[in-house]
Amino acid sequence: MGAQLRVYTQKIKSAQTTKKITKAMELIAASRIQKALARVEASSPYARAITRAVSAVATYSNEVHDLTLERDEIRRSAIVVLTSDRGLAGAFNSQILREAGELRAQLEAQGKEVEHYLVGRKAVQYFQFRRRAAVRDWTGETDVPTADLAKEIADAVIESYVKGSADGGVDEIHVVYNRFVSMMTQEPQTVRLLPLEIVDAADDATDGEHFPLYEFEPEPGRVLDALLPVYVESRIFNALLQSAASKQAATQKAMKSASDNADTLITDYTRLRNNARQAEITQQISEIVGGADALGSAK
Amino acid sequence: MALAVSIVSAEAEVWSGDASQVSARTVEGEIGILSGHEPVLAVLAEGQVRVTPIDGAPIAVDAADGFLSVDHDRVEIVARHAQLA
């Protein structure tokens, strides 16, 4: 067998092996998306109930809470960056890091100091490589995030927020994560977490007569004290779950295109190999014919 | 009239259904809820929430660090780690 032929055969083999791996990863990711989406779905009654409770306090009492209060001057901001632990997910992590970088530049242009909280090994590696400091990081749990992880993150950022920039804390907190739009699309999303904007107001809120009817145990202020951190936590938990689902979808997409690429390579190299084989045969025939001619004319 | 009760944890809905009575311990003391109760939002204390369903045996739920809300005969018990005891 000619050298050229052997090279093509090797390349085809290697593309076939790659394809086997990427195909397997694609299938694994596809099955995990469903599980991750089911977790997003399963956590939504909790988020809904907490949101309803928060808007009940907001509408049935005149309580103002530190976590919902816009501060006059914002000197330092925190960005919570949600990436994954593993790569092989196309633009999943890079689009988040780019988004976080843009946000940082924008905040710094407004004269604010920026500090980071990182979730996922990819963000940690990115920061380490650039020798940039992060306040805290969490790794190892991004595939199947738990409510406890969300609580830990919430506690850390709330602590820093309550301290305020005067005491080395921050005055606002943003979260950057991948929102799951569909199997094909995952959008980087920036949300301001604190101070809170409570979106969902109770529908019959304008009815003043309801006001004295609602009873809080203990008084509204202390209920809010307990409730708002949980609200923050449920928002973070939701972001974590969305990010996990997006990661699986991004992996599936990336692995699908890798498999398709391997297919193209296999086809191309197979053509080239056939070409090379045919050339070799043609050459052998012409050698034989040439030899026979030489023998015939020598008689 | 029955109470529509739902008990949810951060990760899933634990139990939902119609009940005749719910009793729980809030940070201020025991609270018992029957149909027609005024709207309440309470912070739960350590301890169990007991639900008496319309049909079937009473159930108990561990719901530390949770909240209880009642509004128009809808009772919601929300706790990060709520689970049936």
Same-domain pairing of A119 and A173: yes
Q: Which domain holds residue A238?
A: 27-253
Element (H, E) at A234: helix A220-298
- The Cα A154–Cα A226 span in angstroms is 13
**Chain B partners of A52 at a C-beta cutoff of 8 Å?**
69, 76
pLDDT digits (tens, 9 = 90+) for B11-53: 888 888 899 989 988 888 888 999 888 888 888 888 888 899 8
Contact assignment for A147 to B27 by CB distance below 8 Å: no
Has residue A192 been placed in a domain?
yes
Residue B78 contacts A where some CB pair is shorter than 8 Å: yes
Is B8's CB within 8 Å of A49's CB? yes
Spell out the domains of chain B, with CATH numbers in brackets.
3-84 (2.60.15.10)
Tell whether A284 and A221 lie within a shared domain.
no
Helix (H) or strand (E) holding B23: strand B13-26
Phi first, then psi: give them for residue A173, nearest 5 degrees: -135, 130
Q: Which residue in A46, A153, A209, A238 has the most chain B C-beta atoms within 10 A of its own C-beta, making it the best mutation to test that interface? A: A46
Question: Is the CB of residue A157 less than 8 Å from the CB of residue A122?
Answer: no
Whether A152 and A124 share a structural domain? yes
Q: Are A68 and A201 in contact (CB under 8 A)?
A: no
What stretch of H or E contains A108? helix A92-109
Same domain, residue pair A147 and A270: no
pLDDT (tens place) for every residue of chain A, 299 residues total: 678 899 999 999 999 999 999 999 999 999 999 999 999 999 888 888 888 888 888 777 777 777 877 888 888 999 999 999 988 898 999 999 999 999 999 999 999 999 999 999 999 999 999 999 899 999 998 889 998 999 999 999 999 998 888 888 899 999 999 999 988 889 999 989 888 876 545 444 444 444 446 788 788 888 888 888 898 999 999 999 999 999 999 999 999 999 999 999 999 999 999 999 999 999 999 999 999 999 988 76
d(CA A155, CA A157): 6
Q: Which amino acid is at A193?
A: L
Amino acid of residue A225: D
B61 close contact with A: CB closer than 8 A = no
Closest by CA to B3, choosing from B31, B35, B32, B33, is B35
Q: Do B27 and A217 touch (CB under 8 A)?
A: yes
Q: Indicate whether A120 belongs to any domain.
A: yes
Total number of domains constituting chain A: 2
Considering the domain boundaries, does residue A298 fall inside one?
A: no
Mean pLDDT for all residues in chain B = 87
Q: Is residue A53 part of a domain?
A: yes
Residue A166: φ, ψ to 5°: -65, -30
CATH number of the structural domain spanning residue A90: 3.40.1380.10
Nearest to B38 among A46, A213, A223 (CB): A213
In a domain, A297, yes or no: no
Residue type, B26: T
The residue of chain B with its CA nearest to that of A39 is B11
Query: Does A217 share its domain with A283?
Result: no
> What is the rounded CA–CA span in Å between residue B28 and residue B5?
22
Full-model pTM? 0.86
Q: Are residues A248 and A261 in the same domain?
A: no
Nearest neighbour of A56 by CB, restricted to B13, B41, B78: B41
Residue A223 lies in a domain: yes
Instruction: Give me the pLDDT at residue A209, please.
Output: 44
3-class SS of residue A118: strand
In CATH, what number is assigned to the domain containing residue A276?
A: 1.10.287
Please judge whether B6 and A234 are an interchain contact, meaning their C-beta atoms are less than 8 angstroms apart: no
Place of tokens 């191309």: A268
Q: Are residue A96 and residue A200 in the same domain, yes or no?
A: yes
Chain A residue with minimal CA distance to B39?
Answer: A214
If DSSP codes are grouped into helix, strand and coil, which group holds residue B53? Answer: strand
